[in-house]
Structure 1
Amino acid sequence: MNSPGTILNVEDTPENRHLVRRILESQGYNVVDAENALQGIEKALEIRPDLILMDINLPDLDGFTAVTRIRSYAQLTSVPILALTARTVHDDRERAKAIGCDGYLNKPIDLDELINQVACHIVTRHKETEPATQRELYLKEQNVTLIEELEKKFSELKV
């Protein structure tokens, strides 16, 4: 049986990672795990998944920052991203949409909703999207550079 797709699961809590992996693998998906945001960004660039599940509360960078970085890479702009969080802040859903998340799931995860959203977004992913212009690609690369420089300056200020 062919896998319906590869899912990158960015989650710092081992129990949550294991649960999501078990559920999605039972549906035939190939699941690749990342334990933090930086590892998630690196793996996204390496494997170019069909979908990314992004925990918002991560120890190194918050999920919002990770999504912003992922969206800045031209080869990842069409990858659907579902935000997952135990936070109940009302603005999180709007913020997730604004930065480029395609969906939002609350924890504890409703397993049926997870399976349905993953399936729906992977099908959508396979639709043709307009190729980005050279200008858009350049601007996205510049955004990555600026974000990295700002984060470096910010960490220097903390010290």
Structure 2
Amino acid sequence: MILHIDDSAEIRELIHRVLSSYGYHVVHAEDGLNGLNLVSQLKPDLVLLDLQMPGMSGFDVVKQIKANPELGQIPVIAFTGSVVPDDHAQLLAVGFDDFLAKPPSISDLLKIVRFHDPGGLS
């Protein structure tokens, strides 16, 4: 199962449509707090996380996920509009496992998901 946390309904719909069409089970949260609660409850195989959200940012969410021994092994992918290499280094330093430009191309999205979910369809 993939948990996608993003405040943009348009992006949530896009991600759901693409990943579902390839057989992935996708659950969504519209903000960081709800997303963090769902991570704890569902323990997904992969989290796709927007950085810029009202309230709790993606940075806050990933720090809490990675600090929890029960959740810290879950791969968390940052959705970012930035393509600056220094920003990517910062994302990895705070706990993200990878990053993806927003909005992602279908091929980039599938490549990242397949890399971080080697068990296949979840």
Provide the TM-score with structure 1 as the length reference: 0.71
Q: Which amino acid aligns with 1:59?
A: P
After the TM superposition, which residues 94-113 of structure 1 pair with which residues of structure 2 at under 5 Å, given as runs? 94-113=89-108
Deviations 1:102-140 (A, max 9, x none): 11111121110111110110118xxxxxxxxxxxxxxxx
Larger radius of gyration between Structure 1 and Structure 2: 1
Higher normalized helix content (fraction of residues): 1
Q: CA deviation at 1:75?
A: 1.1
- Structure 2 gaps, min length 5: none
4+ long deviations beyond 6 Å: none
Q: CA deviation at 1:90?
A: 4.4
Partner of 1:132: none
Q: Which amino acid aligns with 1:57?
A: Q
Q: CA deviation at 1:92?
A: 2.3
Q: Which amino acid aligns with 1:31?
A: V
Query: What is the CA–CA distance in structure 2 between the aligned matches of 1:91 and 1:101, rounded to whole Å?
Result: 14
Q: Tell me the matched-pair count.
A: 119
1:18 aligns with 2:13: yes
Q: CA deviation at 1:94?
A: 1.1
RMSD of Structure 2 on Structure 1 (CA)? 1.3
After the TM superposition, which residues 49-128 of structure 1 pair with which residues of structure 2 at under 5 Å, given as runs? 49-88=44-83, 90-123=85-118
Provide the TM-score with structure 2 as the length reference: 0.92
Look up the SS of the partner of 1:83 in the other structure. strand
Q: Does the CA contact (< 8 Å) of 2:11 and 2:103 recur in 1?
A: no
- Structure 1 gaps, min length 5: 1-5, 125-159
Query: What is the CA–CA distance in structure 2 between the aligned matches of 1:28 and 1:88, rounded to whole Å?
Result: 29
Deviations 1:19-73 (A, max 9, x none): 0011111111110100011111100000000000000011112111110011111
Query: What is the CA–CA distance in structure 2 between the aligned matches of 1:28 and 1:66, rounded to whole Å?
Result: 27
Greater relative CO (CA pairs within 8 A, separation 6+): 2
State the percentage of identical aligned residues.
36
